[in-house]
Amino acid sequence: MSYLAFYRTFRPTTFDSVVRQEHIVKILTNQIETGKIGHAYLFCGPRGTGKTTLAKIFAKAINCESPVNGSPCGKCATCKALASGAALDISEIDAASNNGVDEMRDIREKVQYPPVNGKYKVYIIDEVHMLTQSAFNAVLKTLEEPPAHAVFILATTEPQKIPATILSRCMRFDFKLIPQPDLEKLVKSVYDQTGKTYEDEAVAAIARAGNGSARDSLSIADMCASYSQGKLTYDDVNKVLGKADFFAVAEIAEAIMSHNGGETLTATESVLATGKGVGVLLRDLLSFMNNLAVVKMCRNAAEIINLPSDKYEKLKQIADGAEGHTILRTTEILAKCEGDLRYAVDGRITLEAALIKAAMPSADYDIEALLARIEKLEKQVADGVKVKIESRPAPAPMPAPSEKRPPVEAIPAVEEKPAPKAKPAVVEEVESFSPFDGAPVKAAEEQSTLFEQPTVSAPAQVGSLSERDKATLFGRFIKLFRTTRRNAVLFTLCMDLESFFEGDTFVLLTTVEAVYRSLSREDNKQFIAEALQSLGVFSFDIRLKPKGEDKYEKAIGELRDNFKGTDIQIK
């Protein structure tokens, strides 16, 4: 007898041996035990999940003389005839090659004849979505009201292509993808029956490559068994699948996580030089980034990924030194690159451009890159690196051509006064939460570096502020709140404030009561006072502006504009 592939040799023959699909198996076995057999069934779902297998088991079970727990016994004359393929009561039709109206008319004529050996005449139509519209119309009436001895089982991977008139006449069963643990168990049972030795990590890699399909998993397992004469290893499976070397891919990922564009390109070129395709390397990188995210986020990552110890340690080393946002951004860039490769003339350039973009966020100006740069700065602050912000005075406005420049001697000298002493550094622990760490992280931030004195000598009194300094004061005040996590809150609250001077007092005005209450808190008020003192302002006030005040002031302004020269008193 010729060699049979694993997926044919180990095809289930009873409902008990079917991998998962319990919801479908339970309904079919109950129908067989109670004798409530339907006339039309639709099995739909991904490839390799057991649609045709269940259809064959069901066809044998309803014709079996003495079914066992709903499954065919395999011992009676009917079961033996059906197993040998000589029975005429079960017809399996491939709709991909028999999709015309003539084939459906032939079924409509033959279905009237009673079965030869069994109780039912079963028609299994595989890939039924390939039928033409005329073929669907030809079988429509027969499918709705077939003879009592006829049962139709339609199987498809694309139910959306089947007309609604056909769908409404069938009992629909949706097959689901098979989980990885069940695929691993299936592959191990096949290897145990064939006497093949294996590593658990190798079986896990086969199950992952199967992508929820039992047939695909068994096909890969069949190739791996032929490739390896001894014990099947994880590296053997990778070679059969044509994947790039794990540590070579890890080198690329590590260079991306450290934002080193040169090393990223060098590692990529070395992998492509071995003959690996661009698409293969991209898929391997996406898989590696997915594993990296799992290690970063999950405590039981070792059980989920199931890699050899040396490879898992390398993965964990990279994950520990990587930032969660960088992992997410790199995965999104590579996922977009996978779609771009379909239309790319030179896939190599497309891949390398995506890798450079991922490795060099400083050269990218989209929002994700800016967030990555901010996260890097926050990490530097958390590690104790001082980030100094210097306030530089705006350049003096150029005089108009008609204006006459005053002589240098006419400008009075401003007496320099000693700047106020900086307060001692106050170290505060700021608690933040990272979704990739799974726990709060405390970072020490030095507030003394936030409001350092300007590099030029700042005036020590409000009265010495020039009109230009007053005009730019609010912008410089806002700029001081762009450094740490705590200041980011104040930065958001102060952005929409109005500001003006009342004599020597700097007034901050808001129309939002919640903002007013937050800024009036003692800690925030003290923070604002220190910021303004560093700019030479020692008197300020925070006020709540009534909601109707804008319209009132606008009306007063219009009144004064319309009656210029008239003394208008507001009471």
Give the whole-angstrom CA distance, residue 145 versus residue 143: 6
Domain(s) of CATH 3.40.50.300: residues in the chain? 6-174
Domain(s) of CATH 1.20.272.10: residues in the chain? 246-363
Q: What pLDDT, on the 0 to 100 scale, is given for residue 442? A: 41
Alpha helices in 162-308 (DSSP H): 164-167, 180-194, 200-210, 214-227, 234-241, 246-257, 261-272, 278-297, 301-305
* pLDDT above 60 for 403: no
Burial class (CB in 10 A: 0-12, 13-18, 19+), 3: exposed
Q: What pLDDT, on the 0 to 100 scale, is given for residue 444? A: 37
Instruction: Tell which CATH classification among 1.10.8.60, 3.40.1110.10, 3.30.200.20, 3.20.20.370 matches the domain 180-241.
Output: 1.10.8.60
- pLDDT band of residue 122 (cuts 50, 70, 90) is very high
Average pLDDT in the 500-514 region?
Answer: 82
* pLDDT above 80 for 470: no
Q: What pLDDT, on the 0 to 100 scale, is given for residue 226? A: 92
Residue 566 DSSP label = S
pLDDT tens, position by position, 346-388: 999 999 999 999 998 876 666 666 666 676 677 767 776 554 4
Hey, what are 462's tokens? 């409000």
pLDDT tens, position by position, 303-356: 888 888 899 999 999 999 888 888 999 999 999 999 999 888 999 999 999 999
Q: What pLDDT, on the 0 to 100 scale, is given for residue 370? A: 66
Which class would CATH give 246-363?
mainly alpha
Percent share of the chain, pLDDT over 70: 77
Domain(s) of CATH 3.30.300: residues in the chain? 460-544
Q: Taking the CA atoms of 51, 53, 56 and 60 in sequence, report the sign of the dihedral they define.
A: negative
Q: How does the average pLDDT of the chain come out, rounded?
A: 80
Q: Which residues are bridge partners to 433 per DSSP?
A: 440
pLDDT tens, position by position, 276-291: 899 999 999 999 999 9
Which class would CATH give 460-544?
alpha beta
Which residues does 152 contact at the CB level (< 8 Å), separation at least 6? 39, 40, 41, 122, 123, 125, 143, 146, 170
- For 76, half-sphere exposure in the C-beta direction (CA atoms, 13 angstrom radius) is 16
* pLDDT above 50 for 37: yes
Average pLDDT in the 83-97 region?
Answer: 82
Q: What pLDDT, on the 0 to 100 scale, is given for residue 552? A: 59
Average pLDDT in the 478-502 region?
Answer: 71
Q: What pLDDT, on the 0 to 100 scale, is given for residue 477? A: 78
Residue 496 DSSP label = T
Instruction: Tell which CATH classification among 3.40.50.280, 3.40.50.300, 3.40.190.10, 1.10.3470.10 matches the domain 6-174.
Output: 3.40.50.300
Domain(s) of CATH 1.10.8.60: residues in the chain? 180-241
pLDDT tens, position by position, 182-237: 999 999 999 999 999 999 999 999 999 999 999 999 999 999 999 988 899 999 99
Q: What pLDDT, on the 0 to 100 scale, is given for residue 487? A: 63
Average pLDDT in the 430-448 region?
Answer: 41
Give the whole-angstrom CA distance, residue 117 versus residue 89: 7
- pLDDT band of residue 438 (cuts 50, 70, 90) is very low
- Other C-beta atoms closer than 10 Å to the C-beta of 392 total 9
Q: What pLDDT, on the 0 to 100 scale, is given for residue 349? A: 93
Residue 68 DSSP label = B
Picking from 117, 111, 114, the residue whose alpha carbon sits closest to that of residue 93 is: 111
* pLDDT above 80 for 75: yes
Q: What pLDDT, on the 0 to 100 scale, is given for residue 371? A: 66
Q: Which residue is it, tokens 């079963």?
A: 122
Q: What pLDDT, on the 0 to 100 scale, is given for residue 562? A: 72
**Which one-letter amino acid corresponds to residue 414?**
V
- The pTM for the full model equals 0.61
